Amino acid sequence: MNDEINPVTKYKLLTVDDIKNACEFRYGKNGEMVELCQMSEELKQGIDALQQFSRIATIYGSARFKEDHPDYIATEKLAYALAKELGYSIVTGGGGGIMEAGNRGAYRANGTSIGVTIVIPHEQKTNKYVTDIVPFNYFFTRKVALRYSSELAIYCPGGFGTFDELFEVITLIQTKKMNPIPVVLFGTKFWNPVDKLIKKMLVEEYGTINNEDRHLYVITDDIPTVLEIAAATDLKNGSKGEIHTLR
């Protein structure tokens, strides 16, 4: 397959600058109202755009891995299988590393490969395997749109951003602020020590969570196991309850 790809957006969306300009036209120099307007409009657009797609699996992870990294290779294979065998749309942050691997796998399966992009000083270049772009300026609106639309959340090895996104989702599920979705921690070498730390510090030493809370996620390296989990998940068609709401 030719890797010289240009991203194509099937749905005409406003850019971050379009939204900003429209809000400035509406509210003039009232900076607070302009910012609130931007937040509201990009969140609405993002949710509406992502709702156009079929079953969504969102893949999170580091932007720093190269294509020869074992976790990049494993993520690409997983995304390929989800798209090819189960028809999942693959959503990532649209950048490099694990995000690129996820989009690449979906693209090579002739599936839908979505980049939910963000304007930041570093690691912001959209990878060439994205077929649909949903742009954001704010991290929090992007995160809400991602978790609102996702039916399967897959966390690969990553940094602060990956941990932030993971703990937000499992906290929302724990506190019943969103309907439960499968949370897969993909990569035992990376995630088993994290789980061991959670058990030792949070469960046993400090008692800040219950041991049952560790059942909110599954740790695996096995692609067939993830496919089995994904095949049993169909929130939008109601087999596992309603699609999650904003609560």
Q: Long-range contacts: 195-198, Cβ < 8 Å, 24+?
A: 195/219
The whole-number pLDDT of residue 124 equals 66
Number of H helices, E strands in the chain: 8, 7
Rounded Cα gap, residues 66 and 53, in angstroms:
28
Distance linking the first and last C-alpha atoms of the chain: 43
What dotted CATH number matches 55-237?
Answer: 3.40.50.450
DSSP lists the bridge partners of residue 154 as 59, 184
The residue that leads in pLDDT, 107 or 51, is 107
Task: Give SS3 for 91.
Answer: strand
DSSP lists the bridge partners of residue 60 as 155
Q: Which residue has the tokens 């077929």?
A: 131
The whole-number pLDDT of residue 7 equals 46
In the chain, the percentage of residues whose pLDDT exceeds 90 is: 81
DSSP lists the bridge partners of residue 43 as none
Instruction: Write out pLDDT tens, residues 112-170.
Output: 999 999 987 765 689 999 999 999 999 999 999 988 889 999 999 999 999 999 999 99
Nearest Cα neighbor of 172 from 204, 235, 217, 118 is 217
Beta strands in the chain (DSSP E): 56-60, 89-92, 113-118, 132-136, 152-155, 183-186, 218-220
Domain ranges in the chain with CATH number 3.40.50.450: 55-237
Rounded Cα gap, residues 230 and 82, in angstroms:
8
Confidence of residue 239 (pLDDT cuts 50, 70, 90): very low
The whole-number pLDDT of residue 82 equals 98
The whole-number pLDDT of residue 161 equals 93
Using a cut of 0.85, tell me whether the model's pTM lies above it: yes
The whole-number pLDDT of residue 95 equals 93
Pair 214, 151: CB distance under 8 Å: no
Nearest Cα neighbor of 229 from 184, 173, 189 is 184
The whole-number pLDDT of residue 2 equals 44
Pair 97, 63: CB distance under 8 Å: yes
Instruction: Write out pLDDT tens, residues 75-126.
Output: 999 999 999 999 999 999 999 999 999 999 999 999 999 999 998 776 568 9
- Contact residues for 75 (Cβ-Cβ < 8 A; gap 6+): 59, 61, 98, 101, 102, 105, 156, 186
